[in-house]
A and B are shown apart, each in its own frame.
Chain A
Amino acid sequence: MTDLLALIVAKYNYWLYVILMMIGLYAMIAKNNLIKKLVGMNIFQTAIILFYVSIGYKRDATIPIIQSAHGGQDAHAAVIHAADYINPLPHVLMLTAIVVSVATFGVAMALAVRIYQRYQTLEEDELRMRLVDIGPEK
């Protein structure tokens, strides 16, 4: 038990993000309203983004912008230690993931607007009943 506790304390950030992901996933599966499902999707994707960004953190390191290179001439002068700067790669990957998540959210919103225009409701059980009312499909 103390083993598990030590494990959690050392990696508590990952556990937090996994719990956040599961909250988002539950909302996507179990909620009835389409907008609540969309919010769940956003939570799920944001938790994944946070998970990745936390991979790149190094203790006692600063942001990945090399100060000594600003002068232009003395750019090659200073020696750069890798342990002084946090890992830039997860940040790059997550810039892409954020854009993808925003784009998907935009398209999903447009679809929700279309559904509302047609059926005047956004609850899934209502939609299912109204689909039966429309009759057989084309």
Chain B
Amino acid sequence: MDNTPALIVVTPLLAALFAGLAAWIKERLSYPIALIGLAVSVYSAFKVLMQVITSGTIHYRVAGWAPPMGIEYSIDLLNAMVLLIVSSIAFLNLIASYKSVARETSDRTGSFYTMYLLFVTGLLGVTATGDLFNLYVLIEITSLTSYAMVALGDRDRGPLASLNYIFIGVIGASFYLLGVGYLYMQTGSLNMADVATILSGIHGSSTVLVAFILMMIGVWIKMALFPLHVWLPNAYSYSPIAFARVVAPLMTKVMVYVMIRMMITVFGFDYIFKTLNLSHAVVWLATIAILAGAIMALSQKNLKKMLAYIIVCEIGYMVGGAWMGNQLGMTGAILHILNDALMTFALFLAVGNMAYKLKKVDLPDLKGLFGKMPWTMAGFVLAAFSIIGVPPTCGFFSKWYLILAAFEAGAWHFAAALVISSLICAVLFFRVFEICFFEPISESHGQKDGYSHVAIEEAPISMLIVSGLVSLSLIVAGLYSGTIVNTIILPFLR
């Protein structure tokens, strides 16, 4: 019996519990246990992806009961791709974070790794499941662990940022739960495929409409779509860098995956685009989100906050692409999930290296970094080019699909917003390059805050290797975009 789909989600959970035990008995074992757990998960995700590409959708019945009586994992191409992205980024981040975790949470590293593994379990479970209520439980695991870990960062502002994140996050998850309740009232089932079959007969019902709106708003709150994004900049910039590096690329993208899953599998294209006809309004909302994110990023003086607003902008791309109504748009959105995860991860890796050595990443503090940290800055430059959309990095290809989709659907405002935001990102990043490259490193750096002169040298090898690997993968993913689209995305959308 092939249990690999279950292994992807269960191995990090088991590793988390063993790491939790080890934290009380022998703390040095937690890190190796975490590494082994995530490595097995990456390998299983890879095996499952290969299997789905060759033989089609996998249906795995947990506990042996047939759906809708029991819970089912139905893993198709979209699932498998996102599972592989999530597990590999989490694994690479774990390798790169050993030193910064040891510094930031010195007396409780075992518990930190346990939380980290539980967070990754939640993300993997959200991606793999085929049951609506199971999705809610896993969203709550992800959220709860992220609330706790955000508060571990900045001692002054972390807890307050996390508490505000809790309030907004609870509203989002509860709206999703209410939506599931309304759906359950009308259909009587909780399995995604089953609900889809029953829903195809009751399109006109007001309950289903309200359920759809509630679920969408809940997921939009969780993915930080403007104007529901207010929790994101504070939460991501005040969290410990090891956690910010894994939550920024992954959490919002997994929520975009949930939205696409709702749209395609549960409600279906017919209902959303023909019966409801909401796509114009949502594409306008996405346009405003892109512009707002880019403009707010311009006014930030802290590098981490600037990157957080760029994430808000990128989410706008994906929501607009998915709601465009044509196949090109959905292709662009799904490709952008992969690309944006890699780009954001590369950016935050570079920022993490800087923060590890500099301790403060306000823009004025970055003077002359090109000379002192050349490899880190090389990774940063590659990631920045990818966000701006320079070929052959991967960011260019997904933006290309989205612009084509906008032209085909006649949404000129969306295409204009894409171009304008790319220009604004270019301005942003070139400003950072100018500060890092041309201004000589000031002698007084580090001494104005009272601590002794910080020796700025290159970051540790483990961080550099991971950073280099991910930056290279940006180019690789760009060159292979065609293969990815043809093997994974187009067959899924057929």
Which chain A residues have a beta carbon within 8 Å of chain B's beta carbons? 21, 25, 28, 34, 37, 41, 44-45, 48, 51-52, 55, 89-90, 93, 96-97, 100, 103-104, 107-108, 111-112, 114-115, 118, 127, 131, 134, 136-138
Q: Please determine whether A45 and B174 come into contact, CB atoms closer than 8 angstroms.
A: yes
B160 contacts the other chain (Cβ, under 8 Å)?
Answer: yes
Q: Please determine whether B170 and A45 come into contact, CB atoms closer than 8 angstroms.
A: yes
Contact pick for B163, options A34, A100, A134, A137, CB 8 Å = A34
Question: B139-174: contact bitstring with A at CB < 8 Å (1 yes, 0 no)?
Answer: 010001001100100111101101100110011001
Q: Please determine whether B162 and A118 come into contact, CB atoms closer than 8 angstroms.
A: no
Contact pick for A48, options B167, B174, B185, B190, CB 8 Å = B174
Within the complex, what minimum Cβ distance (angstroms) separates A15 from chain B? 14
Chain A at the B interface: SS class:
helix
Which chain B residues have a beta carbon within 8 Å of chain A's beta carbons? 133, 137, 140, 144, 147-148, 151, 154-157, 159-160, 162-163, 166-167, 170-171, 174, 177-178, 181, 184-185, 190, 237-238, 302, 359-360, 362
Complex Cα spacing A87 to B210, Å: 24
Residues of chain A within 8 A of B166, CB atoms compared: 41, 104, 107-108, 111
Q: Please determine whether A131 and B151 come into contact, CB atoms closer than 8 angstroms.
A: no
For the complex of A and B, the 6 pairs showing the least CB-CB separation, nearest first, are: A114-B159, A100-B140, A111-B163, A111-B159, A115-B159, A108-B166
Residues of chain A within 8 A of B144, CB atoms compared: 100, 103-104, 107
Within the complex, what minimum Cβ distance (angstroms) separates B308 from chain A? 13
Complex Cα spacing A25 to B170, Å: 10
Residues of chain B within 8 A of A44, CB atoms compared: 170-171, 174
Residues of chain A within 8 A of B362, CB atoms compared: 136
Measured CB to CB, the nearest residue on chain A to B158 is: A114
Given contact pairs A52-B181, A111-B163, a sample of 10 additional A-B residue pairs in the complex whose CB atoms are under 8 Å apart: A21-B178, A28-B171, A41-B166, A48-B178, A51-B178, A55-B184, A90-B184, A100-B137, A104-B166, A138-B359
Residues of chain B within 8 A of A108, CB atoms compared: 147, 163, 166
Q: Please determine whether A111 and B151 come into contact, CB atoms closer than 8 angstroms.
A: yes
Q: Please determine whether A41 and B170 come into contact, CB atoms closer than 8 angstroms.
A: yes
Given known A-B contacts A44-B174, A55-B184, A138 and B154 have beta carbons under 8 A apart: yes
Residues of chain B within 8 A of A52, CB atoms compared: 181
Complex Cα spacing A100 to B144, Å: 9
Complex Cα spacing A90 to B166, Å: 25
16 A-B pairs whose Cβ atoms sit less than 8 Å apart in the complex: A41-B167, A51-B181, A89-B190, A100-B137, A104-B144, A104-B170, A107-B147, A107-B148, A107-B166, A108-B147, A111-B166, A115-B163, A127-B160, A131-B160, A137-B154, A138-B154
Q: Please determine whether A118 and B163 come into contact, CB atoms closer than 8 angstroms.
A: no
Measured CB to CB, the nearest residue on chain B to A52 is: B181
Complex Cα spacing A83 to B359, Å: 66
Q: Please determine whether A93 and B167 come into contact, CB atoms closer than 8 angstroms.
A: no
Complex Cα spacing A6 to B280, Å: 37
Measured CB to CB, the nearest residue on chain A to B139 is: A100
Complex Cα spacing A41 to B169, Å: 11
Q: Please determine whether B302 and A137 come into contact, CB atoms closer than 8 angstroms.
A: yes
Contact pick for A96, options B137, B171, B359, CB 8 Å = B137
Complex Cα spacing A127 to B185, Å: 43
Q: Please determine whether A37 and B302 come into contact, CB atoms closer than 8 angstroms.
A: no
Within the complex, what minimum Cβ distance (angstroms) separates B415 from chain A? 36
Q: Please determine whether B170 and A137 come into contact, CB atoms closer than 8 angstroms.
A: no
Complex Cα spacing A96 to B131, Å: 15
Measured CB to CB, the nearest residue on chain A to B163 is: A111
Q: Please determine whether B151 and A114 come into contact, CB atoms closer than 8 angstroms.
A: yes
Residues of chain B within 8 A of A37, CB atoms compared: 167
Complex Cα spacing A93 to B181, Å: 10
Given known A-B contacts A37-B167, A103-B144, A137 and B159 have beta carbons under 8 A apart: no
Within the complex, what minimum Cβ distance (angstroms) separates A111 from chain B? 5
Measured CB to CB, the nearest residue on chain A to B237 is: A137
Complex Cα spacing A63 to B348, Å: 54
Residues of chain B within 8 A of A28, CB atoms compared: 167, 170-171
Q: Please determine whether B359 and A55 come into contact, CB atoms closer than 8 angstroms.
A: no
Given known A-B contacts A104-B170, A107-B148, A111-B151, A48 and B163 have beta carbons under 8 A apart: no
Measured CB to CB, the nearest residue on chain B to A103 is: B144
Residues of chain A within 8 A of B147, CB atoms compared: 104, 107-108, 111
Complex Cα spacing A134 to B155, Å: 12
Q: Please determine whether A118 and B155 come into contact, CB atoms closer than 8 angstroms.
A: yes
Max chain B Cβ within 10 angstroms of own Cβ: one of A45, A96, A111? A111
Given known A-B contacts A93-B133, A100-B140, A107-B144, A137 and B162 have beta carbons under 8 A apart: no
Q: Please determine whether A55 and B177 come into contact, CB atoms closer than 8 angstroms.
A: no
